[in-house]
C-alpha cells in the first residue's frame, strides 16, 4: 500500500502507534517504501525523520529462536522497544513479555496478553507497582535483596518469586551485575528470609549483560544457577523456573554467532538442567528481536565547512535526529550506528572524501552522532539511512528542544523472495549508496 498521506494535521493528530501497517506487495521493497515516504514528505514541504519497522524481520527472529533454542521460551523485554507494532507482532507469535514497571505491564495487558505470560523482571520495584501487579494477576517477579522481599510480602504475598543472581558480565557491552543481582554468598540468607515471610521462591534468573560477546558467559551463569537450585534444595525449597535473561545481539551479522551461543546454552542446559528435571526454562531477549528490524531515515538540515580546522577542510553536518532523539543509543547503549547516504543524485566512487563530523539537531554540543568520518560531500536536503536502529532507540528518545520524535512506519513484506540484498558502497557491483562508518580510516 502507498505510504500514509502526510498532510500537516495528519502528522500531528495521529500517533505513530495508531498508524496502519503497510504491506509491501508486488515486489516493493523497504527501500521503495522509504523513497516513497521521502517523496510524500517533500510534497508536504517537510523533512521529518522516520523509522521503517520491518515486522517480517521480527517474525524471522522468532523462527530462528524456536529452531535454535527449543527448550527456552522467550519473554520479550519490552524496555528494548515498546512500539505497539512490535508488541502486537510478538504477542501474535505467542511470546511472553518481560516488563520492568507498571507502565510496561499496562501496555502488555492492554494487548490482551494474559498476566501469566508476563514476568515483572525488575529486582527493585516501587511498592505501588508491586501492588498493581498483584491487582492484575501478574505474579511472577524477580528480587535480589532482603528489602525487596519485605516489600513484596506487604504488597503481593502470593507472588511467585525469582531470585536474580549476579553473574559474570565482563564480556558484555552494557554490564548490569554491578547494579542488580545477589551474589552466591547471600542466596542462603535470602531464601531463609523468604521462608520466614512465607513467600514462595520458584526459580532463578540472571542477565549476562546486554550485547554479550562471549557465549561461555551463559555456560558459567547456568552453572551458577544450578548451585542456587542445589542450595535451595538443601533448604527444602524445590525450584521449577530458570530464566536465562537477555544479552543476544539483534544484528544480522550476529546470526552465525547466535548458532554458537545457542549450542553452548543448549549443552549447558542439558548438563545442569536436563529435559526431565522438571525445570521450565525462559529468557528475556530484547535486542535480538528488534535491533535489525528498524531503519531510521534522517535528513541533512545544515552544513558548515571549517577550512581552518583541518587540511582540506573539515565538514560539519547537522541532521534532524540525534542523541536526544532516536540516536540516544550512541550514549546510553554505546552504539556506533552505520549510516548510509541515499543516492538521490549521481555519486561516483571516486568522489573526494572529507573528514566530517555529524551533529544532531539540538543546541547541545553533546548531541554528536559521528566523530571524524571520511565521507563525500553532503548537501542540505540529503537523506541518510541509519541501520539496526530497533534496540533502545524508540523507547529512549525525547523531544528535547521541541524536535518531534521520529514516527514509526511498520511494514510487512508480502514476498520475501523479491527483496534485494542490502547494499552499500563497499560492494563495487551496486554503488547503491555510501556507507558512512563511524570509525573508518582516512582514504589512502
By the rule CB under 6 A, 247 interacts with ligand PLP = yes
Does position 176 interact with ligand PLP (CB under 6 A)? The reply is: yes
Q: Which residue has the cell 558480565?
A: 169
Which residue number, 156 or 164, has a Cβ lying nearer to ligand PLP?
A: 164
Q: Single out the residue of 74, 286, 361, 376 in contact with ligand PLP (rule: CB under 6 A).
A: 286
Torsion from C-alpha of 7, 10, 11, 17, nearest 10 degrees: -150
Residues 113-132, one symbol each (x = binds ligand PLP by CB under 6 A, - = not), give: --------x-----------
- Told to check if 95 binds ligand PLP by CB under 6 A, we report no
C-alpha distances in angstroms, 346 versus 35, 193, 305, 318, 443? Answer: 16, 70, 22, 22, 20
Q: In this structure, are residues 370 and 436 in contact, taking their beta carbons and an 8 Å threshold?
A: yes
Interaction with ligand PLP in 190-209: which residues (CB under 6 A)?
A: 207
Active site residue 134: no
Residues 343-402 that bind ligand PLP (CB under 6 A): none
Residue 148 binds ligand PLP (CB under 6 A): no
In sequence order, the 6+-apart residues with CB closer than 8 A to the CB of 230 are none
Regarding 328 and contact with ligand PLP (CB under 6 A), the answer is no
Q: Does 55 bind ligand PLP (CB under 6 A)?
A: no
User: Using CA atoms, how far apart are residues 232 and 195, in angstroms rounded to an integer?
Assistant: 11
Beta strands in 44-105 (DSSP E): 50-54, 72-77, 96-99
Nearest approach in angstroms of CB 237 to ligand PLP is 22
Q: Which is nearer to ligand PLP, 268 or 329 (CB)?
A: 329
- For residues 164 and 143, the answer to whether their CB atoms sit within 8 Å is yes
Q: Which of 144, 224, 284, 382 binds ligand PLP (CB under 6 A)?
A: 284
Q: Which range binds ligand PLP by CB under 6 A, 41-49, 107-115, 279-287, 355-363?
A: 279-287
Q: Which residues between 69 and 88 bind ligand PLP (CB under 6 A)?
A: 77, 80
Residues contributing to the site for ligand PLP (CB under 6 A) = 77, 80, 98, 121, 176, 207, 210, 245-248, 284-288
Residues labelled catalytic: 363
Amino acid at each position: 500500500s502507498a505510504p500514509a498521506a502526510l498532510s500537516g494535521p495528519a502528522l500531528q493528530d495521529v500517533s505513530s502507534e495508531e498508524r496502519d501497517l503497510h504491506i509491501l506487495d508486488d515486489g516493493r521493497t523497504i527501500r521503495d517504501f522509504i523513497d516513497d515516504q521521502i517523496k510524500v514528505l517533500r510534497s508536504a514541504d517537510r523533512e521529518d525523520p522516520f523509522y521503517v519497522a520491518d515486522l517480517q524481520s521480527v517474525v524471522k527472529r522468532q523462527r530462528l529462536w524456536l529452531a535454535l533454542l527449543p527448550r527456552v521460551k522467550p519473554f520479550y523485554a519490552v524496555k528494548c522497544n515498546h512500539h505497539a507494532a512490535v508488541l502486537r507482532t510478538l504477542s501474535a507469535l505467542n511470546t511472553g513479555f518481560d516488563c520492568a514497571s507498571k507502565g510496561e505491564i499496562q501496555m502488555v495487558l492492554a494487548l490482551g496478553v494474559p498476566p501469566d505470560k508476563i514476568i515483572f523482571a525488575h529486582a527493585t520495584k516501587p511498592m505501588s507497582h508491586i501492588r498493581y501487579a498483584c491487582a492484575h494477576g501478574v505474579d511472577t517477579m524477580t528480587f535480589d535483596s532482603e528489602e525487596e522481599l519485605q516489600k513484596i510480602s506487604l504488597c503481593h504475598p502470593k507472588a511467585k518469586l525469582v531470585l536474580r543472581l549476579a553473574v559474570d558480565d565482563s564480556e558484555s557491552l552494557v554490564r548490569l551485575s554491578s547494579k542488580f543481582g545477589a551474589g552466591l554468598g547471600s542466596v542462603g540468607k535470602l531464601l531463609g528470609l523468604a521462608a520466614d515471610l512465607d513467600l514462595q521462591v520458584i526459580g532463578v534468573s540472571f542477565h549476562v549483560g546486554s550485547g554479550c560477546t562471549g557465549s561461555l558467559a551463559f555456560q558459567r551463569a547456568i552453572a551458577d544457577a544450578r548451585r542456587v537450585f542445589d542450595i535451595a534444595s538443601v533448604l527444602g525449597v524445590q525450584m521449577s523456573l530458570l530464566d536465562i535473561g537477555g544479552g543476544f545481539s539483534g544484528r544480522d551479522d550476529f546470526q552465525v554467532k547466535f548458532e554458537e551461543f545457542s549450542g553452548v546454552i543448549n549443552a549447558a542446559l542439558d548438563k545442569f538442567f536436563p529435559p526431565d528435571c522438571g525445570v521450565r526454562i525462559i529468557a528475556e531477549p530484547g535486542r535480538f528481536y528488534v535491533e535489525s528490524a528498524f531503519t531510521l531515515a534522517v535528513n541533512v538540515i545544515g552544513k558548515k565547512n571549517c577550512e581552518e580546522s583541518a587540511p582540506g577542510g573539515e565538514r560539519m553536518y547537522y541532521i534532524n535526529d540525534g542523541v536526544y532523539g532516536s540516536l540516544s543509543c550512541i550514549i546510553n547503549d554505546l552504539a556506533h550506528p552505520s549510516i548510509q547516504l541515499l543516492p538521490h543524485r549521481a555519486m561516483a566512487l571516486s568522489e573526494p572524501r572529507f573528514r566530517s563530523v555529524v551533529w544532531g539537531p539540538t543546541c547541545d554540543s553533546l548531541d554528536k552522532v559521528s566523530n571524524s568520518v571520511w565521507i563525500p560531500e553532503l548537501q542540505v536536503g540529503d537523506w541518510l539511512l541509519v541501520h539496526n536502529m530497533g534496540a533502545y532507540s524508540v523507547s529512549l528518545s525525547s523531544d528535547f528542544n521541541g524536535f518531534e520524535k521520529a514516527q514509526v512506519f511498520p511494514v510487512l513484506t508480502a514476498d520475501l523472495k523479491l527483496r534485494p540484498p542490502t547494499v552499500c558502497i563497499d560492494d563495487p557491483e551496486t554503488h547503491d549508496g555510501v556507507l558512512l562508518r563511524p570509525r573508518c580510516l582516512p582514504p589512502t
